[in-house]
Every structure is written in C-alpha cells, then in structure tokens.
Amino acid sequence: MATDTEATPIEESVRAALAKVQDPEINRPITELGMVKSVAVDAAGAAHVAVWLTVSGCPMRETITNRVRDAVSAVPGISSVEVELDVMSAEQRQELASTLRGGQAEKEIPFAKPGSLTRVYAVASGKGGVGKSSVTVNLAAALADQGLKVAVVDADIYGHSVPRMLGAEGRPTQVENMIMPPSANGVKVISIGMFTPGNAPVVWRGPMLHRALQQFLADVYWGDLDILLLDLPPGTGDIAISVAQLIPNAEILLVTTPQQAAAEVAERAGTIALQTHQTIVGVIENMSGMPCPHCGEMVDVFGTGGGQTVADALTRATGAKIPVLGNIPIDVRLRQGGDEGKPVVLSDPDSPAGSALRAIANKLASRQRGLSGLSLGLTPKNKF
C-alpha cells in the first residue's frame, strides 16, 4: 500500500470523498479538522481509513464511522471499507481548539464582538408559567427548518427544560477547554441540565449564575450561527442583568399571557431595556384563547388583550414602536410536543399553535436575512 506521500489516484479520490464528511458535533469536514489519520487502498480495492476522535468516549463514534464508510464506499473502484478509530493526543486537541477559535483568545464571546452577524434574542417573561420555553423551542425549530443555523442557550438555570422540549438527548463533548453542544431538530443546545445528575436541583447564587452563562457563551463551540435564542428565567434577576452585560447587543422578545395580571408583570420585565439599553423586538402573546373542540369558537380562558396592553405600554415607555409579533392559541398539541421532545412547528405545523409560531418565526427570519444581506426590500434592522 502506498504511503500518504505517494498517494495513488484512488487514494486521492478517497481523500476527496472524506472532505465531504462532516463531524456531527462540529459540523465541519473531518479533513479540515485534522481528523483523518491515514488512508490506504490495496490492489483489490480494499480501503483502510484511520480517523482521529477528539476523546476516547466520543458519543458520535458510530455516526462518524458510518459517515466515513458510506462516503468511501461510494468511490469507484472501492470494494470494501475498514474504518479504524484512534484518539487525539493532548497536543492535537489543543491544535484543534485553536483551529476552531480561529486563533482568537479563549473565553471570548463571539456574539458580543463588533460586526457579529448573529442575531441574539433573549426570550423573557415577567411571570413563570406563561410558556416562554415552549415559545423559545418552537421558534428555534421553525427557524432551523427554514435553513438557518440556530442555537438555544437554556439560561433558566433553576428551571431548565429546553433539552427535553427540543428532544436533545445527547451529552456535550469536551475538547480541551471547549464544549461541543449536542443538537436536535437542527438546533444546537446547551443547558445546565446536561451537567447535573438526574433531576438534581441547582442551588446557586448570582455570581455562579453569571459564570455559568459566561461559560455557555464563551466555552461552547457554536460555529457560525444566524440566530441564538436565550431562554431566560422569568423576571428581572441576575441572568437578565448578566445577559445585558455579556451580550449588550442582545434583543428582547417578551412573552406574556392575555390576562392583565400577567401583562402588568411582563411590562415591568420589559422596561429593564430602559436601563440596559437593549432593543425590545416585540411581544408574543401565548395562550391567547382556546378553540372550542365542538363548535370551533374561541374561548378566552385567560382573558384578552394582554399582549397588546404590554406592547402599548412599552411603546410609551421606550418611545419606539413595539409590535405584537403574534398570538398563540392554547393547543394541547403544543404541550404534548414539549413533553415528547417533538416541537409542534415540526410535528403538526398546520395546527393553530404551529401556524402561529411559524408566522412569528418567519418575521424573525426576515430580520436575519435583512442583516445578512440575503434578501432585498426588507425593513431596516430592529423594525418590522
């Protein structure tokens, strides 16, 4: 068999095929990441490919093996494929981490850098229980379904629930000081729940919450994202303040229910933007009403008008027009999708809740395409 310095034409074809194989966690070609250890093809067409794994317990080893085998098997002249897995040395992992950071310093939050094209949305609420996490997860899944690169940070440290609702069952992989986030339904996600045993509670004070959020933003390898959604805890506590400090350009999506009691609290949560100098993109009214299963007439279980009340109050407070981005009806399929890890925007996109959430996602996608210059005739940044 020829050595790498004396590659035969068929071995060159194998390497070209491997250049199309992406690492399932990093989403970049394994050749670009230095993961191809060796390639050899004997006279009978039997290929032997050795691949470096980042860590010995890599959860994606089987996926990588299958992707390599499929790609090489498709090369004309290859009769069989053997894939050997090895583990990178500490020096190789350091080199890989440096490659992923693009030579930049560690602990840098890429989304806070000037010129970042990633839209960062902090999904906030005044009260808990208004469906903020359901909205976050479904918006993320709908945006990813449109071909955008999307990620979610489960910043609700005490009440983390995003992995279950998104259907993310994988565990993060650590490469040196970098964390590779798992993904589900095309969305990358990180949550403190991925690092705690079972359903153990997180009992932390402010400084530790800030540090956890900082690590999620700086230590996780997110790649080139179009949109990053942060599922914030309710209220105006430590995490909301930390987001404003760590990502000053983060914009606020405010979730409320129609009832006036919730709207008043949501208004208080939104006015934090006056102190942090953040942009409020709009208000999302969840649980707007329930279609009667018998006659189809809308039943206003939690009253009406809360979303518009919040939007009007924030418009007066900020001096900028704050729109209601959408009204999401009560839909049992939305709850079921969250319990089963199947966002309703994908499992039942034409349902009342699925349609409303996809319409909101379309507005956010239009804003992102306007920022990236991918479409013409859109309204300026921060406007609809």
Residues annotated within a binding site for ATP:
126-133
Residue 173 CA to chain centroid, in angstroms? 16
CA atoms within 13 A on the CB side of 377: 0
E strand map for 244-382 = 251-256, 280-286, 290-291, 298-299, 324-328
Backbone angles phi, psi at 208, to 5 degrees: -70, -35
Which of 335, 353, 341 shows the shortest CA–CA distance to 185?
341
Q: Give the separation between CA 378 and CA 370, rounded to whole angstroms.
A: 6
Cα(294)–Cα(280) distance, integer angstroms: 38
- Rounded distance between C-alpha atoms, residue 7 and residue 5, angstroms: 6
Residues in the chain: 384
Annotated binding-site ranges: 126-133
Q: Mapping DSSP to helix (H, G, I), strand (E, B) and coil, where does residue 271 land?
A: coil
